[in-house]
Protein backbone atom coordinates (compact mmCIF):
# COMPACT_ATOMS: atom_id res chain seq x y z
CA UNK A 1 0.00 0.00 0.00
CA UNK A 2 1.41 3.39 -0.90
CA UNK A 3 -0.30 5.81 1.48
CA UNK A 4 -3.46 6.00 3.55
CA UNK A 5 -4.61 8.94 5.63
CA UNK A 6 -6.54 8.69 8.87
CA UNK A 7 -7.77 10.97 11.61
CA UNK A 8 -8.00 9.92 15.26
CA UNK A 9 -10.05 11.92 17.76
CA UNK A 10 -9.89 11.52 21.51
CA UNK A 11 -12.34 13.07 23.97
CA UNK A 12 -11.49 13.99 27.54
CA UNK A 13 -12.63 16.21 30.36
CA UNK A 14 -10.38 19.02 31.53
CA UNK A 15 -11.17 20.42 35.01
CA UNK A 16 -10.42 24.01 34.00
CA UNK A 17 -12.83 23.64 31.06
CA UNK A 18 -15.58 21.93 33.00
CA UNK A 19 -18.34 23.21 30.73
CA UNK A 20 -16.80 21.67 27.60
CA UNK A 21 -15.85 18.30 26.29
CA UNK A 22 -12.28 18.75 25.15
CA UNK A 23 -11.10 16.82 22.11
CA UNK A 24 -7.61 16.02 20.97
CA UNK A 25 -6.84 14.60 17.56
CA UNK A 26 -3.94 13.47 15.42
CA UNK A 27 -3.82 13.33 11.63
CA UNK A 28 -1.53 10.70 10.17
CA UNK A 29 -0.51 9.52 6.73
CA UNK A 30 0.64 5.91 6.83
CA UNK A 31 2.75 4.15 4.21
CA UNK A 32 3.13 0.38 4.64
CA UNK A 33 5.41 -1.62 2.33
CA UNK A 34 5.63 -5.39 2.87
CA UNK A 35 8.73 -7.37 1.95
CA UNK A 36 8.90 -11.16 1.85
CA UNK A 37 8.12 -14.25 -0.20
CA UNK A 38 6.03 -12.77 -3.02
CA UNK A 39 8.06 -14.17 -5.94
CA UNK A 40 5.34 -16.44 -7.33
CA UNK A 41 2.92 -13.52 -7.57
CA UNK A 42 5.30 -12.13 -10.19
CA UNK A 43 6.60 -15.29 -11.89
CA UNK A 44 3.56 -17.62 -11.76
CA UNK A 45 0.60 -15.22 -11.46
CA UNK A 46 -0.16 -16.81 -8.07
CA UNK A 47 -1.86 -14.30 -5.77
CA UNK A 48 -2.24 -16.64 -2.79
CA UNK A 49 0.49 -14.92 -0.79
CA UNK A 50 -0.43 -11.35 -1.73
CA UNK A 51 -1.76 -9.22 1.14
CA UNK A 52 -4.21 -6.91 -0.66
CA UNK A 53 -3.99 -3.15 -0.38
CA UNK A 54 -7.52 -3.17 1.03
CA UNK A 55 -6.38 -5.43 3.89
CA UNK A 56 -3.41 -3.19 4.65
CA UNK A 57 -5.64 -0.11 4.63
CA UNK A 58 -8.19 -1.68 6.97
CA UNK A 59 -5.41 -2.89 9.25
CA UNK A 60 -4.15 0.68 9.63
CA UNK A 61 -7.59 1.73 10.88
CA UNK A 62 -7.99 -1.28 13.18
CA UNK A 63 -4.56 -0.85 14.75
CA UNK A 64 -5.20 2.88 15.20
CA UNK A 65 -8.36 1.99 17.12
CA UNK A 66 -6.95 -0.62 19.49
CA UNK A 67 -3.15 -0.90 19.42
CA UNK A 68 0.17 0.84 18.77
CA UNK A 69 2.16 -1.80 16.88
CA UNK A 70 1.44 -1.57 13.16
CA UNK A 71 4.66 -3.01 11.76
CA UNK A 72 4.82 -5.86 14.30
CA UNK A 73 1.27 -6.88 13.39
CA UNK A 74 2.19 -7.66 9.78
CA UNK A 75 5.35 -9.60 10.62
CA UNK A 76 3.58 -11.61 13.34
CA UNK A 77 0.45 -12.36 11.31
CA UNK A 78 1.98 -13.29 7.94
CA UNK A 79 4.79 -15.85 8.13
CA UNK A 80 5.92 -15.08 4.58
CA UNK A 81 6.40 -11.36 5.38
CA UNK A 82 9.99 -10.79 6.47
CA UNK A 83 9.92 -7.02 6.80
CA UNK A 84 7.19 -4.41 7.23
CA UNK A 85 8.42 -0.97 6.24
CA UNK A 86 6.19 1.63 7.91
CA UNK A 87 6.46 5.36 7.26
CA UNK A 88 4.10 7.58 9.27
CA UNK A 89 3.75 11.33 8.84
CA UNK A 90 2.13 13.20 11.72
CA UNK A 91 0.83 16.63 10.78
CA UNK A 92 1.39 19.57 13.09
CA UNK A 93 -1.88 20.93 14.44
CA UNK A 94 -2.26 23.46 17.27
CA UNK A 95 -5.28 24.68 19.19
CA UNK A 96 -6.79 28.01 18.15
CA UNK A 97 -6.33 30.54 20.94
CA UNK A 98 -9.48 32.54 21.68
CA UNK A 99 -9.24 35.34 24.24
CA UNK A 100 -5.90 33.97 25.36
CA UNK A 101 -7.20 30.45 26.01
CA UNK A 102 -6.77 27.30 23.88
CA UNK A 103 -10.10 26.34 22.32
CA UNK A 104 -11.40 22.89 23.35
CA UNK A 105 -12.21 21.60 19.86
CA UNK A 106 -10.87 23.99 17.18
CA UNK A 107 -7.42 23.69 15.60
CA UNK A 108 -5.20 25.12 12.87
CA UNK A 109 -2.31 23.54 10.95
CA UNK A 110 0.80 25.20 12.31
CA UNK A 111 3.21 26.55 9.72
CA UNK A 112 1.34 25.91 6.47
CA UNK A 113 -0.02 29.36 5.62
CA UNK A 114 1.34 32.28 3.60
CA UNK A 115 0.74 36.02 3.74
CA UNK A 116 0.32 37.61 0.31
CA UNK A 117 -0.30 40.98 -1.30
CA UNK A 118 -0.95 42.33 -4.79
CA UNK A 119 -0.23 45.98 -5.61
CA UNK A 120 -1.01 47.87 -8.81
CA UNK A 121 0.53 51.32 -9.19
CA UNK A 122 -0.26 53.92 -11.84
CA UNK A 123 0.73 57.57 -12.19
CA UNK A 124 -2.29 58.71 -10.20
CA UNK A 125 -3.49 55.73 -8.21
CA UNK A 126 -2.58 52.60 -6.28
CA UNK A 127 -4.70 49.54 -5.56
CA UNK A 128 -3.80 47.02 -2.87
CA UNK A 129 -5.20 43.58 -2.24
CA UNK A 130 -3.77 41.52 0.61
CA UNK A 131 -4.62 38.32 2.37
CA UNK A 132 -3.65 34.87 3.50
CA UNK A 133 -3.71 31.45 1.89
CA UNK A 134 -3.11 27.91 3.02
CA UNK A 135 -4.49 28.29 6.57
CA UNK A 136 -5.74 24.80 7.44
CA UNK A 137 -8.36 24.70 10.19
CA UNK A 138 -10.45 21.93 11.73
CA UNK A 139 -13.07 21.70 14.47
CA UNK A 140 -14.23 18.36 15.81
CA UNK A 141 -17.71 19.58 16.79
CA UNK A 142 -19.83 22.74 16.70
CA UNK A 143 -20.78 22.34 13.03
CA UNK A 144 -23.92 21.04 11.34
CA UNK A 145 -25.47 20.86 7.87
CA UNK A 146 -29.22 20.24 7.73
CA UNK A 147 -32.37 21.23 5.80
CA UNK A 148 -30.54 21.52 2.48
CA UNK A 149 -32.26 21.01 -0.86
CA UNK A 150 -33.14 17.39 -1.69
CA UNK A 151 -34.00 15.83 -5.03
CA UNK A 152 -34.01 12.34 -6.57
CA UNK A 153 -30.19 12.46 -6.84
CA UNK A 154 -29.54 13.39 -3.21
CA UNK A 155 -28.04 10.76 -0.92
CA UNK A 156 -26.43 13.05 1.67
CA UNK A 157 -28.00 12.78 5.12
CA UNK A 158 -28.58 15.68 7.49
CA UNK A 159 -25.71 16.10 9.97
CA UNK A 160 -26.51 17.70 13.32
CA UNK A 161 -22.85 17.49 14.34
CA UNK A 162 -19.87 16.98 12.06
CA UNK A 163 -16.20 17.73 11.55
CA UNK A 164 -15.68 21.10 9.85
CA UNK A 165 -12.33 21.35 8.09
CA UNK A 166 -11.12 23.64 5.33
CA UNK A 167 -8.12 25.46 3.92
CA UNK A 168 -8.78 29.18 4.25
CA UNK A 169 -8.10 31.62 1.44
CA UNK A 170 -8.95 35.19 2.47
CA UNK A 171 -8.27 38.26 0.31
CA UNK A 172 -9.28 41.82 1.11
CA UNK A 173 -9.12 45.08 -0.85
CA UNK A 174 -7.88 48.12 1.05
CA UNK A 175 -9.14 51.69 0.71
CA UNK A 176 -6.03 53.65 -0.27
CA UNK A 177 -7.72 57.07 -0.34
CA UNK A 178 -6.31 57.92 3.11
CA UNK A 179 -2.77 57.52 1.77
CA UNK A 180 -0.68 54.37 1.75
CA UNK A 181 1.56 55.75 4.50
CA UNK A 182 -1.47 55.92 6.83
CA UNK A 183 -2.66 52.34 6.36
CA UNK A 184 -1.82 49.95 9.27
CA UNK A 185 -1.13 46.94 7.05
CA UNK A 186 0.20 44.63 9.77
CA UNK A 187 -2.63 45.44 12.16
CA UNK A 188 -5.22 44.75 9.47
CA UNK A 189 -3.62 41.46 8.46
CA UNK A 190 -3.30 40.19 12.02
CA UNK A 191 -6.88 41.30 12.68
CA UNK A 192 -8.26 39.52 9.63
CA UNK A 193 -6.39 36.35 10.58
CA UNK A 194 -7.50 36.51 14.22
CA UNK A 195 -11.11 37.26 13.29
CA UNK A 196 -11.13 34.32 10.88
CA UNK A 197 -9.89 31.95 13.57
CA UNK A 198 -12.10 33.37 16.33
CA UNK A 199 -15.28 33.12 14.27
CA UNK A 200 -14.37 29.66 13.02
CA UNK A 201 -13.83 28.44 16.58
CA UNK A 202 -16.83 30.11 18.24
CA UNK A 203 -19.53 30.01 15.56
CA UNK A 204 -22.04 27.19 15.97
CA UNK A 205 -21.84 26.72 12.23
CA UNK A 206 -25.02 25.97 10.26
CA UNK A 207 -23.00 25.84 7.03
CA UNK A 208 -19.70 26.91 5.54
CA UNK A 209 -21.58 29.70 3.77
CA UNK A 210 -23.03 31.13 6.98
CA UNK A 211 -19.68 31.00 8.76
CA UNK A 212 -17.75 32.75 5.99
CA UNK A 213 -20.37 35.50 5.79
CA UNK A 214 -20.04 36.08 9.54
CA UNK A 215 -16.24 36.25 9.21
CA UNK A 216 -16.47 38.92 6.52
CA UNK A 217 -19.16 40.88 8.34
CA UNK A 218 -17.09 41.10 11.53
CA UNK A 219 -13.98 42.18 9.59
CA UNK A 220 -15.83 45.01 7.83
CA UNK A 221 -17.17 46.28 11.15
CA UNK A 222 -13.76 46.22 12.82
CA UNK A 223 -11.55 47.55 10.02
CA UNK A 224 -12.92 50.57 8.10
CA UNK A 225 -9.89 50.46 5.78
CA UNK A 226 -11.12 47.16 4.31
CA UNK A 227 -13.46 47.61 1.35
CA UNK A 228 -14.42 43.99 0.86
CA UNK A 229 -13.34 40.48 1.83
CA UNK A 230 -13.19 37.42 -0.41
CA UNK A 231 -13.22 33.97 1.17
CA UNK A 232 -12.74 30.56 -0.40
CA UNK A 233 -13.39 27.70 2.02
CA UNK A 234 -13.30 24.35 0.21
CA UNK A 235 -14.76 21.46 2.16
CA UNK A 236 -12.26 18.95 3.49
CA UNK A 237 -14.53 16.02 4.27
CA UNK A 238 -13.81 13.57 7.08
CA UNK A 239 -16.22 10.64 7.12
CA UNK A 240 -16.57 8.07 9.88
CA UNK A 241 -14.59 4.92 9.13
CA UNK A 242 -16.76 1.79 9.10
CA UNK A 243 -15.20 -0.62 11.60
CA UNK A 244 -18.27 -2.87 11.99
CA UNK A 245 -16.71 -5.67 9.86
CA UNK A 246 -13.98 -5.88 12.51
CA UNK A 247 -16.37 -5.81 15.50
CA UNK A 248 -15.01 -2.46 16.67
CA UNK A 249 -17.28 0.39 17.81
CA UNK A 250 -16.89 3.68 15.96
CA UNK A 251 -20.12 5.61 16.49
CA UNK A 252 -21.57 7.93 19.11
CA UNK A 253 -19.12 8.53 21.94
CA UNK A 254 -16.95 5.77 20.49
CA UNK A 255 -16.56 7.61 17.17
CA UNK A 256 -12.82 8.28 17.03
CA UNK A 257 -11.52 7.11 13.63
CA UNK A 258 -12.26 9.11 10.48
CA UNK A 259 -11.16 8.92 6.85
CA UNK A 260 -10.30 12.17 5.06
CA UNK A 261 -11.88 12.17 1.59
CA UNK A 262 -10.25 14.04 -1.31
CA UNK A 263 -12.20 12.65 -4.29
CA UNK A 264 -14.97 15.26 -4.16
CA UNK A 265 -15.73 18.40 -2.19
CA UNK A 266 -17.59 21.67 -2.37
CA UNK A 267 -15.58 24.78 -3.29
CA UNK A 268 -17.47 27.52 -1.46
CA UNK A 269 -16.71 31.20 -2.03
CA UNK A 270 -18.16 34.58 -1.12
CA UNK A 271 -17.23 38.24 -1.36
CA UNK A 272 -18.58 40.37 1.48
CA UNK A 273 -18.43 44.09 0.78
CA UNK A 274 -19.74 47.40 1.96
CA UNK A 275 -23.04 48.60 0.56
CA UNK A 276 -22.47 50.48 -2.70
CA UNK A 277 -19.08 48.88 -3.43
CA UNK A 278 -18.63 47.18 -6.79
CA UNK A 279 -16.73 43.89 -6.86
Binding-site residues: 53-54, 145, 162, 208-209, 235
| Residue 212: its H or E element | helix 208-222
Q: How many other C-beta atoms lie within 10 A of the C-beta of residue 233?
A: 25
Sign of CA dihedral 92, 207, 258, 256: positive
Sign of CA dihedral 43, 45, 47, 50: positive
Residues pairing with 274 in the sheet: none
What distance in Å separates the CA atoms of residue 56 and residue 78, rounded to the nearest whole number?
12
The annotated binding site for urate is made up of 53-54, 145, 162, 208-209, 235
Grouping H, G, I as helix, E, B as strand and the rest as coil, residue 266 is coil
The annotated binding site for O2 is made up of 53, 235
Yes or no: say if 65 and 245 are a contact pair by the CB < 8 Å rule: no
What distance in Å separates the CA atoms of residue 102 and residue 108, rounded to the nearest whole number?
11
What distance in Å separates the CA atoms of residue 116 and residue 170, rounded to the nearest whole number?
10
The annotated binding site for 5-hydroxyisourate is made up of 53-54, 145, 162, 208-209, 235
Tell me how far apart the 2 most distant CA atoms of the chain are, in Å.
78
Least Cα distance to 218 among 242, 235, 206, 201 occurs for: 201
Amino acid sequence: MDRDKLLCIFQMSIPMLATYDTTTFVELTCQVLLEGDFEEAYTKADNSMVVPTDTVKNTCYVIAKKSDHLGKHFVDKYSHVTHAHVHIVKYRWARINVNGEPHPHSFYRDGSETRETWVTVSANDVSIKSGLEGLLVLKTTGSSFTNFHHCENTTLQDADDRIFSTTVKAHYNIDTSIGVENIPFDRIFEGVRKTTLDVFAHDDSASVQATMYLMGDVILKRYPEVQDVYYALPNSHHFTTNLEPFNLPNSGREMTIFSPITDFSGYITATIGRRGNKF
